[in-house]
Amino acid sequence: MAGSPSLAGQPKVFLENNLIMIREGMRNIPVMRGQLDGLSDPQIIALAKFYSAQVLKPVPGQRDEALYERGQLLSKQALCGTCHLPDYVGREQMPRLAGQREDYLLHTMRQFRNNQATGRDTIMAASLYGMNDADLQAIAQYLSQLK
């Protein structure tokens, strides 16, 4: 769905952390507010296990070669792959970025860069520091096209 992240194939630890943060009201995601109320820790762990075992079937939009190449270069220069892994499949608390929805990637990177990512790891604001919207658009295009 537009604006919503794919959960399939995300690392289990990342999902557990974020589901718990959402349940506790520590992340500011209006559409998710209250959705996880009453779920127990074991239920959250089971949900995380379920989604992490799903295989992501990316639905990339039209590829823009110039934007894609710029995004690839920027991601390389900013060493995004040191944490998210060189193929951007994520691990532990680092989310999968490969094949994620482009609109969601752009939205979430803007939040990090603008220091509006309530309840999220501050490490990402540092990684995106100094990037403008065009940079973020290029990175979102690149990552969304990866399998």
Binding site for ligand HEC (CB under 6 A): 5, 18, 75, 78-80, 82-84, 93-95, 97, 105, 108-109, 120-121, 123-124, 127-128, 139
Closest separation between CB of residue 26 and ligand HEC, Å? Answer: 10
Q: Of 62 and 77, which CB lies nearer to ligand HEC in the complex structure?
A: 77
Other Cβ atoms less than 10 A from the Cβ of 80: the count is: 21
Q: Of 28 and 127, which CB lies nearer to ligand HEC in the complex structure?
A: 127
Q: Of 45 and 78, which CB lies nearer to ligand HEC in the complex structure?
A: 78
Using the Cα atoms of residue 73, residue 75, residue 78 and residue 84 in order, give the sign of their dihedral: negative
Those residues with Cβ within 8 angstroms of residue 1's Cβ, 6 or more apart along the chain or in another chain? none
Closest separation between CB of residue 38 and ligand HEC, Å? Answer: 23
Best CA proximity match to 82, nearest among 113, 114, 117, 126: 126
Q: Which residues of 41-51 are buried (b: 16+ CB within 10 A; e: fewer)?
A: eeebbebbeeb
Q: Of 20 and 39, which CB lies nearer to ligand HEC in the complex structure?
A: 20
CB burial class (10 A; 0-12, 13-18, 19+) of residue 72? middle
Closest separation between CB of residue 79 and ligand HEC, Å? Answer: 5
Closest separation between CB of residue 6 and ligand HEC, Å? Answer: 9
Closest separation between CB of residue 23 and ligand HEC, Å? Answer: 14
Structure token digits, residue 45:
């762990």
